[in-house]
Chain A
Amino acid sequence: MFAYADAAVEGALAAGASYADARVVLRASRTIEAQNGEIEALRQGEESGVGVRALIGSSWGFFATAALDDASARAAGHRAAEIARASAVVAGPPVSLADVPVVEDHYETAFVVDPMTVALSEKADLAVAATRAMSDVAGVAVARVDLNCWDTRKWFVSSQGHRISQHIVEAGGGMSAVAVGDSETQVRSYPQSFGQYKTAGWETVRDFDLLGNAPRVADEAVALLSAPPCPSGTTDVILESSQLALQIHESVGHAIELDRILGWEAAYAGTSFLELPNLRSMRYGSDIMNITADATLPGALGSFGYDDEGTPSQRVDIVKEGTWVGVLSGRDSAAVAGLPPGGMVRADGYNRLPMVRMTNVGILPGDSSLEEMISETDDGILMETNRSWSIDDKRLNFQFGCEVGWEIKGGRRGRMLRNPTYTGITPQFWASLDRLGGEDEWTFWGVPNCGKGQPNQAGHTGHPAVPGRFRNVRVGVV
């Protein structure tokens, strides 16, 4: 497959590109969706093609084709250069690329059980059985299981000499139970809303123990219908780790994307409240806030060997003892900012332009634990599992809803609360963080549906997290 990537790059250079790179991608996917004891969807996808990126002056030109032959690949390179050249009508500043090592290498995800070879019957039986186990609980209207896996093989070539092949394996899924009342619905999910995903094999799904958790998930969904509502006011909030992971994703991960900071995403995803002159001096949060972007974590969803520019995966400090110290970057954005490239540029398929994406942006563990935090909280709410998420275009003003809240009084977990929500302003909220769970609670959460870019791309990102406590948070927004 390297030959097609070579042809694409040669086509772009012949048409005048100052730099070009190309990816040949073969991607297979398997999806099973079950509801209330029946398989609703069983889908198998395969896509293949070559995408070539050409740089001329101030703009990238990109062209992709599903036709995998030498002539089509070469023509794609030519088209990419033509497209880049047309950008001169509305030119911006010239683009340069930060230096990275020129590498010839191969990388593979480590896995135990190849998810593509697991019998469909095993997957279907699990999905059906788990939905039945939830449906058996009176009051559950909709019991769902979604299981997915992807097998991606990539061959990357650049005009600077990169030749990198990778084999990325991802698997995961989850389940949910919906209970319907007279005036509202309630839902509980496991392991988290939208499922949990890893760069790993089918062992990921087997370890969930969906059947063992199904009755609890269903019971809680039904119980929520009659639970008292989350009160409105200001109180201490403990976020379980999957909700803290999403909090990191939205209020840290997107804010530190260098393309957003530079205004390249202004019209759609938005910009960032962060300004480069404040790097290494601005307070992002409290002293116990340590955030890294680490694409080398085994099993985390945002792990790989090289990004889609051929930059090696790496760990970058983002927030250190509460101070903002790092960004997510690619070769072009790093060159503008005068920073080392972070190896964080990826595309969601052969037919999309690679762009800055989160790798595994997560918080490092502290020295507390969920149980200890609860015992040290006189008056507060524990919130679990994301239900809604919204944040402004600068990543400042956020409001999140969770599936379930638990009242905390006098250091004890009490009654269940329905419709828990909390809101805040990013740096103020993170400044109120005063407890973090320990290493044994550190979980590599995966988000398989991070939207960004035009045309839109769905990124797969990882978020290591632990439970955390935040003081004086506005809750129960109505």
Chain B
Amino acid sequence: MSIPDHLDVCDEVLALVGDRAEAQVVVSAGRSSLTRFANSGIHQNVAEDAVHVGLRVSLDGKLSSAGTSATDHESLGRLVDRALDAAALRPVDTDWPGLAPAAAAPDLSAGFDAATHDATPEQRAAVVRAFVDGAPELRAAGYCDTDSSVVSFANTAGQRLVGRSTRSTIDGIHQSDTSAGSAHQTSTRLADIDGVAAGERAALKARSSIDAVDIEPGVYPVLLEPEAVATILVFLAAYGFNAKAHAEGRSFAHPGEQQFDPSISIWDDALDARGIPFPFDVEGTPKSRLDLVAGGKTVGLTHDRRTAAKAGVESTGHGVPGGESFGGYAQNAFLGGGSASHDELVTAVDRGLLITCFNYCRILDEKTQVVTGLTRNGTFLVENGKIAGAVRNLRFTQSFVGALGPGKVLAVGNDGRLADSEFGPGGCWAPSLALAGWNFTGGAKG
């Protein structure tokens, strides 16, 4: 079973535009359901059937965009009128790259799981039950969600595409009065989500942290688990590999230079089945793998059609909704895995800190990628190559690029998986990393 596409709505809108303008229409429809729990009980349980029609028109190079959640003919007519009327009032956009040409996109139908689309609140509640039962003596909180979407795209240049995807996530913590531990799983299928395993992992971290102690701030080697690495990838993608930021001089990226340790390779691949696959971007450009860092050397930037045209290259298919001002973004970033087991990673750190995840990271300067944030949900001291005990959360002020620089990576884990950065579920595939130094600038007492 598959949810229907909305190419008919795209066609209706394009017919309403007629020959008055170039146009592209994106209809995003889907079902999002999220079961949220706290204090070991479900307290918020939500779902929506959503649809959004996005129209972009170019009236002889004068652009405007408009959107609506209504799909009746009258509302679509108003949508077209609004977009055309607004376009007529603005100057010609000399950087308008034109519409995406007709080109086939990969068939990623395997990335859509009908059972996840049809998941019931009872099924999500069962996953939550399994997570909560992992530690009856602790307080559990988090969510289990299922999400399905079908995106229909058509433009007046002849491009017509449909993409479908599903995703499910369990993200939760167990808490004692003095500690917390977290776990995360994301997949295209709810059936892959193991609430028992996630609950046990979170409980183990929480129980292991009950007697956490303060540690003096300073520079320590660190073992970053996949959630922490995923947060780094988000910052590198948003502020660094973004071709618009690069063109404006705000990015750290210097393509062709060895800016990272040779053990670091980063790429974006929306077609990789290990991630959440999707076949095209918001401009209708088919997706493909794009190398960003190869063996430590920066080799790629993420372009949408606008930045690509200005740079004299082809779009890499990284346009995002509302991205005219933001630029291209790697939504499916991968950091290549290594061979180190968890024990080998701990041994590589020798004396340092194991970080489960980061919290509230904010960038101080885009060009240097200096970021401040905190550790959360499990921070542990490593001594003599073994985990010696838990420490309380620490604040850091650290350049993410600097931390991954040549000679700074001690080992790369073999535990790569979809990981939840602090900004959302499962967009990045990341392994654990052992790094030579991380600058902690404060603790619980300031």
Contact with B along A384-409 (1 / 0, CB 8 A): 00011111110011010100000000
Question: A44-B64, A267-B173, A397-B446 known; A353 and B368 CB under 8 Å?
Answer: no
Please tell me if the beta carbons of B364 and A421 are within 8 angstroms of each other in the complex.
yes
Please give, as numbers and ranges, the residues of chain B lying within 8 Å of A82 by CB-CB distance. Answer: 121
Please tell me if the beta carbons of B49 and A65 are within 8 angstroms of each other in the complex.
yes
Please give, as numbers and ranges, the residues of chain A lying within 8 Å of B249 by CB-CB distance. Answer: 141, 180, 185
> Which of A45, A84, A128 gathers the greatest number of chain B CB atoms within 10 Å?
A45
Please give, as numbers and ranges, the residues of chain B lying within 8 Å of A142 by CB-CB distance. Answer: 248, 250
Question: A44-B64, A120-B89 known; A391 and B360 CB under 8 Å?
Answer: yes
Please give, as numbers and ranges, the residues of chain A lying within 8 Å of B373 by CB-CB distance. Answer: 390
Please tell me if the beta carbons of A267 and B34 are within 8 angstroms of each other in the complex.
no
> Which of B47, B70, B139, B366 gathers the greatest number of chain A CB atoms within 10 Å?
B47
Please tell me if the beta carbons of A477 and B172 are within 8 angstroms of each other in the complex.
no
Asked if A283 is at the interface of the complex by the 8 Å CB criterion, the answer is no
Question: A66-B69, A267-B38, A267-B173 known; A83 and B46 CB under 8 Å?
Answer: yes
Q: In the complex, A270 Cα to B182 Cα: how many Å? A: 13
Q: What's the tally of chain A residues with a CB closer than 8 Å to chain B?
A: 88
Q: In the complex, A89 Cα to B89 Cα: how many Å? A: 56
Taking a contact as CB atoms closer than 8 A, the residue among B75, B125, B366, B444 that contacts A87 in the complex is B125
Binding site of B, secondary structure by majority: helix, strand, loop or mixed? Answer: strand
Interface size class of B (residues with CB under 8 A): 35 or more
Question: A42-B86, A65-B48, A89-B128 known; A263 and B139 CB under 8 Å?
Answer: yes
B152 to chain A, nearest CB (A): 16
Smallest Cβ-Cβ distance to B65: which chain A residue: A43
Please give, as numbers and ranges, the residues of chain A lying within 8 Å of B49 by CB-CB distance. Answer: 64-67
Please tell me if the beta carbons of A62 and B372 are within 8 angstroms of each other in the complex.
no
Q: In the complex, A419 Cα to B37 Cα: how many Å? A: 40
Asked if A41 is at the interface of the complex by the 8 Å CB criterion, the answer is yes
Asked if B36 is at the interface of the complex by the 8 Å CB criterion, the answer is yes
Please give, as numbers and ranges, the residues of chain A lying within 8 Å of B42 by CB-CB distance. Answer: 58-59, 87, 89-92
Asked if A107 is at the interface of the complex by the 8 Å CB criterion, the answer is no
Smallest Cβ-Cβ distance to A37: which chain B residue: B91
Segment at the B interface, from A293-301, A305-313, A317-325, A423-431: A423-431
Asked if B362 is at the interface of the complex by the 8 Å CB criterion, the answer is yes
Please tell me if the beta carbons of A390 and B374 are within 8 angstroms of each other in the complex.
yes
Question: A58-B43, A183-B367, A390-B374 known; A477 and B442 CB under 8 Å?
Answer: yes
A85-128 interface (Cβ within 8 A of B): 86-87, 89-93, 95, 119-121, 124, 128
Q: In the complex, A456 Cα to B445 Cα: how many Å? A: 30
Asked if A39 is at the interface of the complex by the 8 Å CB criterion, the answer is yes
Asked if A144 is at the interface of the complex by the 8 Å CB criterion, the answer is yes
In the assembled complex, 14 residue pairs joining A and B whose CB atoms fall closer than 8 Å, in A order, are A39-B93, A42-B63, A44-B66, A44-B86, A46-B67, A47-B52, A60-B46, A63-B48, A87-B41, A119-B89, A264-B43, A401-B364, A425-B445, A455-B145
**Given A90-B40, A262-B39, 7 other A-B contacts at CB below 8 A?**
A66-B49, A180-B367, A263-B175, A397-B393, A477-B397, A477-B442, A478-B439
